[in-house]
Copies of this chain bind each other. A is one copy, B any other.
Amino acid sequence: MKVVRVGLIGLGTVGAGVFSVLRRNQEEIKRRTGCRIEITTVSRRDLDKARSMVDGAVRVVANPHELIDSPDVDVVVELIGGCDAAREFVLRAIAAGKHVVTANKALLATHGTEIFAAAEARGVMVAFEAAVAGGIPIVKALREGLTANRIQWIAGIINGTTNYILSEMRNRGVSFDAALRQAQALGYAETDPTFDVNGTDAAHKATLMSAIAFGIPVQFDRAYVEGISGLANLDLRYAEQLGYRIKLLGIVRRREGEGVELRVHPTLLPARQLIANVEGAMNAIVVNGDAVGNTLYYGKGAGSEATASAVIADLVDVARLSTSNPEHRVPYLAFQPGAVRDVQVLPIAEAITSYYLRLRVADETGVLARVTAILAQSGIGVGALLQLEAKDVGGDESAQTDLVILTHQARERAMNVALTQLQALPVVLAPIVRIRKEELD
């Protein structure tokens, strides 16, 4: 029986998951693949801790270089995260002719071009199903399952921490800060939650999906990224009244003749959409293909065994294809390296979307007329409008009112001009809230 010998760099949550799933399901995986996947070596700085986690048959080393260079390692699994050290190890593994499996979205979104070129030159595989949406096999769906389609757009809840926080804010009316503390207490958010909360993590994944969907280079530095820390419960409630829900979405969209949109931000979605009903720390991704229409993929985006599920699926692909002609492998980013097109990621000012606006205004005659006149001058159509008593204001409530507007689609540049004018109106009493909105039809 063919044996694939694996070296694991990093033995944290995911590494431990890979171990336990491989041990538990070795027999099932053998029945499927006809081969045995065997972890021969792990590297972790704390040798004692590592030894307590693995059985005696596995070699434990402190130095990843030793693992990479070991003759009994055919595939290197990189699970340490972060960019600098991970980049060095992955490039070194490739140079040594080892196949690589990684769950590292930050690494691939920033150094993907370099890494995939090196792997191409060396003829090795770099697989990364676990880097996007954890256990959901979305990379395989995009690269293979939907390969007949011209993909038009993808919109995904691809960060579980923020979806958990938003679910709590909506369902229990707690503030962002309280929901974040609870997420930390339950292990859904890290001690330093910055990259989750500010959208960076979602943007890494969206960047990878943009490359796979459209055949363009990974361009993380061009992504527009906006997190959820500024969201107020009030806007979640108003959105709900209008039949919408607010989710942090990663969105990539093909804009024929112009470029590609790549953006992460809080987004209003119609509550009737399946993805709007994804609660808690779960992930879900909607893909629109020109032939298949909308398809959706849902599951755990993180966690020890869910992520391990994706890592092991990659190991099986490597086991199956590593000895084959490279022509028989699916290209790293779905498109043949020679066919990647240098399409630009559009600046956010060129994005086209619809908007939710909330204006805290003085309750005076003529306010509505002035506001709608400015929108009309900028060519921005109004789809729905709510005028509500501003209940959260202390003191003289009657003097203030909330004007909530859902606009039709507009170019963000035009919206920015209108917002500047609106904000300058003396009757507008507070910074205007602007949240983008997508129908996903």
Contacts and interface: CB of A to CB of B under 8 A. Distances in A.
A145 B137 contact: yes
Interface string A309-342: 1111100110011011101111100111001000
Interface string A289-316: 1111111111110010110111111001
B140 A145 contact: yes
> Chain B CB within 10 Å — which of A309, A321, A336 has the most?
A309
Interface residues of A, number: 68
A172 interface: no
Interface stretch (A22-30, A72-80, A103-111, A380-388): A22-30
A176 B196 CA distance: 48
B147 A339 contact: no
Given A135-B292, A328-B321, A24 B312 contact: no
Interface stretch (A31-39, A184-192, A240-248, A261-269): A31-39
Nearest to A339: B31
B34 A336 contact: yes
B316 A148 contact: yes
A312 B147 contact: yes
Nearest to A136: B295
A259 interface: no
A324 B326 CA distance: 10
Copies of this chain present: 2
A65 interface: no
Contacts of A146: 137, 309, 313
A96 B144 CA distance: 27
Interface in A268-299: 274, 277-278, 284, 289-299
A147 B32 contact: yes
A348 interface: no
A282 to B, nearest CB: 9
Given A33-B147, A146-B313, A309-B146, A294 B299 contact: yes
A296 B299 contact: yes
B300 A297 contact: no
A5 B137 CA distance: 30
A252 to B, nearest CB: 16
A149 interface: yes
6 contacts: A33-B147, A147-B312, A291-B312, A296-B297, A297-B298, A320-B330
Question: Nearest 9 A-B pairs (CB), nearest first?
Answer: A137-B145, A148-B312, A295-B299, A31-B339, A135-B292, A296-B298, A292-B309, A291-B309, A291-B305
Given A31-B336, A320-B329, 11 more contacts: A21-B148, A25-B291, A28-B215, A30-B339, A31-B335, A135-B291, A137-B146, A148-B316, A292-B305, A324-B325, A324-B328
